[in-house]
Amino acid sequence: MVRDYLIIGAGPAGLQLAASLERDGRDYAVLERGSGPGTFFTRYPRHRQLISINKVNTGYTDPELNLRMDWNSLLGDDPELLLTRYTDEYFPRADDLVRYLADFADRTGVRVEYGTEVVRVSRADGVFTVHDAAGRTRQARRLVVATGVSRLNEPPIPGIELAERYDTFDPDPASFTNQRVLIVGKGNSAFETADALMAKAAVIHVAGPHSLKMAWKTHFVGHLRAVNNNFLDSYQLKSQNAVLDGTVENIEKTADGGFHVTFRYARTTERLRELHYDRIILCAGFRFDASVFDETCRPALVIDDRFPEQTSAYESVNVPGLYFAGTLTQQRDFKKGTNGFIHGFRYGVRALHRILGARHHDTPWPARPLTAAPEEIADAVVARVNRSSGLWQQFGVLGDVVTVDGDRAQYQEEVPLAYVTDGGLGPAAHRFVVDLEYGPDHDGVDPFDVTVPRVTENDVEHAMDSSYLHPVVRHYRDGVLAGTHHLAENLENEWDVPAVHQQPLAAFVKACLG
């Protein structure tokens, strides 16, 4: 039997897509290696606290607005099927997410075959064949990979195999008592580990070649989060810990059971130095495992071969019918947007579902009608930017689209911006595309430096110079960018002052339509 869809992976993304396909009555199956959904989160993060926020008390009564502050729940029709019903911890425990995902799978009725380890994937005559470890095969016209980044990233350092690995080391801090520890990596897994060991280890060095970036400054939630940066205090306040800027050149085992590390500093005159440690832990992030794909359908890889390269429709650039969902789609907005995280990719998965419907089931992207009156278009845009969670979470990646044809218009929500400009919605004489964006220099400005001039809220004249999150509306005439309008930023993110937001936008729309 050749199915329409096979989904590999029953994590959050696989479940999100499967729930949509199940609701539509599509022909699909999900293959999951583990014994239940969310297997990744049964092991990670190793110290069991998530860094995705779970804000229960928002002051909102609108479920859509609540999703702006709920970074873990999936999208669905059941208003009670939310992680906020499982815990009120601001940074929830991973075990709560696993429990939630199991209930989501059960209550949505998704068809998952657990205990199914995919070992090889091939493609012939437009059909994918998936082989599992038990010798069974399954076939589908389209394959969606939602496995996440399942392999530990191992930098090419001589002797790195001697290090303990983030995915397998014993995280009990007691075993590190009075030891000198090197942590290779500068991401959240590295600092999560360092914070956990601070009370027991004698010395901890966190090392990596790149400059440390703080999420509160760059607005990329994958950079170092404040919840993991207590270690930085211990470094700057002279408490035996340090962040080393440079590269580990070599690791060798010593006779006493420790390690000699040759380290090259990035910014000192002492370029090479020999350092000694009792323990070394590799925390350099994760990568996509492409080993199961044979030569008939091996996807092209990018970003140091860590991610599959994708089109604006989340499809492999070189293997037709091979799609990706979930954290793998961060290749499209690497270290800029939120596709690597549940609160971002849940909307990306919904967009993928709509793309698949339009391409393969004659189901056009959902749209609602409007008149072409500039005031009505402006009101519709303002209403959405003040309520939408998808535009909020997927800033700079998803946008709403208003297509104008004569005296009629239609409004389509949460379309990938690149999909629009690539022609995914077809030709149109006039299109208005709205998304939320930070200013172009936002990651280079210290938001807490009161000496740096910045645009004040509701400043219509200087709205285009805003650094903080604000709506941007672009007009495309016959597919070519013809005009851009910025709505003034607002401290409470309420862009609904008539003279500041609606009226200037309506004037822009009117001018664009001539």
Condensed to tens digits (0 to 9), the pLDDT of residues 362-383 reads 999 999 999 999 999 999 999 9
Same domain, 219 and 268: yes
Q: Detail the DSSP E strand segments found in 254-289.
A: 259-265, 272-277, 279-282, 286-287
**For a pLDDT cut of 90, what percent of the chain falls above it?**
86
Last residue of a domain, one of 360, 385, 419: 360
The predicted pLDDT at position 472 comes to: 98
pLDDT tens, 414-472? 999 999 999 999 999 999 999 999 988 766 677 787 777 677 777 788 888 888 899 99
- Pair 113, 31: CB distance under 8 Å: yes
Same domain, 7 and 144: yes
- Average pLDDT, stretch 221-245? 92
Same domain, 202 and 145: no
3-class state of residue 473 by DSSP: strand
Same domain, 242 and 327: no
Note whether residue 155 is domain-resident.
no
* Strand bridging mode 112-113 / 28-31: parallel
The predicted pLDDT at position 267 comes to: 78
pLDDT tens, 287-340? 999 999 999 999 999 999 999 999 999 999 999 999 999 999 999 999 999 999
- Average pLDDT, stretch 343-361? 97
pTM for this predicted structure: 0.94
Same domain, 304 and 341: yes
Separation of alpha carbons 246 and 262, rounded Å: 11
Same domain, 21 and 126: yes
Separation of alpha carbons 38 and 365, rounded Å: 29
The predicted pLDDT at position 444 comes to: 67
3-class state of residue 21 by DSSP: helix
| Number of domains the chain is built from | 3
Structure tokens at 90: 């601001």
Burial of 109: CB neighbours in 10 Å, binned 0-12, 13-18, 19+: exposed
**Residue 230: in which H helix or E strand, if any?**
helix 230-236
Range of the domain at 202: 160-282
- Pair 289, 154: CB distance under 8 Å: no
Of 38, 13, 31, which is closest to residue 113 (Cα–Cα)?
A: 31
The predicted pLDDT at position 270 comes to: 67
Cα–Cα distance list, 330 to 344, 394, 431, 463 (Å)? 9, 11, 26, 29
Average pLDDT value over all residues in the chain: 94
